[in-house]
Amino acid sequence: MDRENAQVATAPSGSPASERLESWKEIAAYLKRDVSTAKRWEKREGLPVYRHLHDKLGTVYAYRSELDVWWNNRQPRPEAAAPPRRWVAAAAAVVLPVVLLVWGWAFLARGGRLKLRHQVPPRATRPGRLLAQATGEGKQPALLPAGKAPDRVAITPNGAELYLTDYDGAVVSVLNTATQALTHTVQVIQKPSAIVAAPDGHKVYVGSAVSDLSVIDTATKAVSTIHTDGPVIDLAITPDGRKLFLAAAYSGLKRVLTATGEVTVIPGTICPMYLALNPQGTRLYVSYQCGGPGGRPGHDSIDILDVTNETSLGSITGLPLVGGPIAISPSGAHIWVSGWDVCEKPYYDHRGCPSVPGGVVHVLRTSDNAGVVLGHSSLVVVDATSFTILETAEVAASRGIVFAPDGRRAYAPARSRGAVAVFDLLDDGCQPPSAGLVSFWPADGNGNDVRDGRPGALHNGAGFAPGLVGQAFRLDGKDDFVSFGKTNEVFFSDPEAALSLWVKFGAVDGEMSVLSRMSPAADSGWRFFKREDNRFVFCLGSALGPAGCLPGSSTTLASATVAAPDAWYHLAVVKTRTEVSLYINGTLEAATYPGVFQDRQAFQPELQLGADERPGRFLNGLVDEVALYNRALSAAEVQSIFQAGKLGSCEKN
């Protein structure tokens, strides 16, 4: 690439520039591009930019060294291409082992700063949705019998076998993933508490909460024992399989040489509880209780260990934390750790906790800051690069989740069911969202716009229920609605636009708003609703054009289709420079010339689902797969989205 025009700037000799860039303007200047290009690179190509979550929206910063690494690794993409979404799967998302329902960012935790530099590898990405096939109407996860009370799980590197510990007994159940049947029950040391498979697939290591390790030969299922002289709470094995680390609570942190079985205590603080290795296997993160290095009860620490030298590189302290399960994002750029109930229990000091009670999950950059997410027990899939909550589902209690090697299937023990739950990635045959998609609300257990991460606000008891694809927004027809703020300029300043969604009515009595962004005077904005005669209506208004949604407007479109209860309908509206078209179930049913459209900027209201500017027009039913585009969809594209039906929307690379 032409360094004259494109190289990243360096500080003049003798006058080093500050490592940190404090605004989009500074970032763009450093890259020798305009601000819009820098923002586009962040969205499309993973430019490492960070946000001050405690400051006003849009405040950002970046580090010169990280921009240098990103630039050197960058593979330029055609600027006209549709931006690939960092969709969900093993390589693109984090699923915390002790899973939590995430409500949203609460605050940026004070303290807890880690001053370790890192390189940011290119973002990995995979298509599809992990939980959708198990959470839609009439759906549930496939449950495979897996012993009496399966608790922890490991998968062999080739994906052929699952090994599941039993919470109540001294056994490990072996499940063949091809036949989905149990093949062996292996006797191990009592109270198995942790399990991990060797990278070469020849051994599976099982720790005991009482003491010692059981080592299962995966070929013969023979068991040997390594004496640890203390309990094993968690395990982590290096990518080369040579070192196995043990969190042994009051017995400290230990290392086993797998070739010889030699056990060594690593000098340090007692009460290590959970472990995680970075993807390169060079750093071990240790979550402590009892305070830990530099910590105190209720503000336990996370220690970072150099794997080669087995010495501490530093500690993360100051966060409200009771050393919980820990995970590293696929890029290695972030640490995820559960704070358990540190902000709920009265015997902790709650210093640094958010004002709203709840469990906490800390997300810490491996270079400096920490964020906090509130929640309660559930399963969550999070985009590991944007922290957008992609999917949330209430499932049986699980203490772990593993992915098949290709990332297309996940397994989670369902202890109360005596089974392992199977989640298959939803992507085969699904309709890719077309270019120009600017907002997408799949309603998979949360109200997030997975295109840009901004959450919708649920009002008066609005919630989620099994939908057409995964989950859907559930509205009671009394006062429930969802507001999305002034999300974008679709149908306002954009000369072309489109929207697409699915709706199912629980009842069809009276007029009901589906999706609306209309001014109080009904002459500026747009509205999509079901009329009292049960026909679908879309109207488009402008202070400088026709009469909008007022009676007699020429920009009101009505469907031939008459809505019935308990049936799914695909609704789409397409606006070009010359007409507005209404599609029901993939078929064009009405069109009109909108005239000159220009919205009155003073009356840009919020986007609302299930309500509009008029009182009492609340929707009774479900709404799913809400999408807004800043370009016109073709008739063929609308038809293909409808035909995809329950396969839903996803993106393929």
Give the model confidence (pLDDT) of 216-269 as tens digits: 999 999 999 999 999 999 999 999 999 999 999 888 999 999 999 999 999 988
Overall average pLDDT of the 581-603 stretch: 75
Architecture of the structural domain at 437-647: Sandwich (2.60)
Angle between helices 24-31 and 64-73 (to 10 degrees): 50
Q: How far apart are CA 15 and CA 24, in angstroms?
A: 22
What's the chain's Rg over C-alpha atoms? 27
Q: How far apart are CA 465 and CA 397, in angstroms?
A: 19
Residues 135, 471: contact at Cβ < 8 Å?
yes
**506 Cβ partners below 8 Å, 6+ apart?**
477, 565, 566, 620, 621, 622
Q: What class does CATH assign to 3-73? A: mainly alpha
* Fold classified for 93-424: Methylamine Dehydrogenase; Chain H (2.130.10)
541 versus 266: which is more confidently predicted?
266
Q: How far apart are CA 51 and CA 468, in angstroms?
A: 34
Q: Residue 69: helix, strand or coil by DSSP?
A: helix
What pLDDT was estimated at residue 396? 55
Secondary-structure breakdown of the chain: helix, strand, coil percentages, each rounded to the nearest 5: 10, 40, 50
Give 225's strand partners. 214
Q: How far apart are CA 339 and CA 288, in angstroms?
A: 11
CA angle 303, 258, 177 (to 5 degrees): 95
What pLDDT was estimated at residue 337? 83
DSSP label at 634? P
Q: How far apart are CA 61 and CA 65, in angstroms?
A: 13
What pLDDT was estimated at residue 14? 34
Residues 499, 628: contact at Cβ < 8 Å?
yes
Give 314's strand partners. 304
Place of tokens 């927004």: 473
Q: And the tokens for 439? A: 């907002």
Strand 481-485 to 607-609 pairing: antiparallel
The answer, yes or no, to whether residue 123 has pLDDT greater than 50, is no
Q: Could you state, in order of their start, the residue ranges of all structural domains in the chain?
A: 3-73, 93-424, 437-647
Q: How far apart are CA 172 and CA 185, in angstroms?
A: 6
Backbone angles phi, psi at 145, to 5 degrees: -55, 130
Q: How far apart are CA 175 and CA 313, in angstroms?
A: 40
pLDDT tens digits, one per residue of 311-342? 999 888 888 888 888 888 777 778 888 888 88
Residues 618, 610: contact at Cβ < 8 Å?
yes
Q: Is 315 left (phi over 0), alpha (psi -120 to 50) or beta?
A: beta
pTM value is: 0.72
Helix (H) or strand (E) holding 36: helix 35-45
Overall average pLDDT of the 285-294 stretch: 89
The type of residue at 106 is A
CA distance readout (Å), 587 to 139, 250, 336, 590, 639: 28, 67, 46, 9, 7
Band of the pLDDT at 167, cuts 50, 70, 90? confident
The answer, yes or no, to whether residue 304 has pLDDT greater than 50, is yes
Helix (H) or strand (E) holding 569: strand 568-575
DSSP label at 17? P
Residues present in the chain in total: 653
Band of the pLDDT at 178, cuts 50, 70, 90? very high
The type of residue at 444 is D
Of the listed ranges 47-51, 70-74, 271-275, 604-608, the one predicted with least confidence: 70-74
CA angle 120, 401, 231 (to 5 degrees): 100
The answer, yes or no, to whether residue 479 has pLDDT greater than 50, is yes
The answer, yes or no, to whether residue 147 has pLDDT greater than 80, is yes
What pLDDT was estimated at residue 3? 31
Angle between helices 24-31 and 35-45 (to 10 degrees): 90
Q: Residue 383: helix, strand or coil by DSSP?
A: strand
The answer, yes or no, to whether residue 199 has pLDDT greater than 90, is yes
The type of residue at 215 is V
Band of the pLDDT at 358, cuts 50, 70, 90? low
Band of the pLDDT at 40, cuts 50, 70, 90? confident
CA angle 100, 101, 103 (to 5 degrees): 125
Backbone angles phi, psi at 419, to 5 degrees: -150, 170
Question: For 346-353, which contacts have Cβ atoms below 8 Å and span 24 or more sequence positions?
Answer: 348/297, 348/298, 348/320, 348/322, 349/298, 349/299, 350/298, 350/320, 351/298, 351/299, 351/320, 352/109, 352/110, 352/111, 352/299, 352/318, 352/319, 352/320, 353/320
Q: And the tokens for 54? A: 């405690």
Backbone angles phi, psi at 528, to 5 degrees: -120, 120
CA distance readout (Å), 518 to 490, 542, 626: 13, 10, 17
Band of the pLDDT at 368, cuts 50, 70, 90? low
Q: How far apart are CA 647 and CA 368, in angstroms?
A: 40
3-73 and 93-424: same fold? no
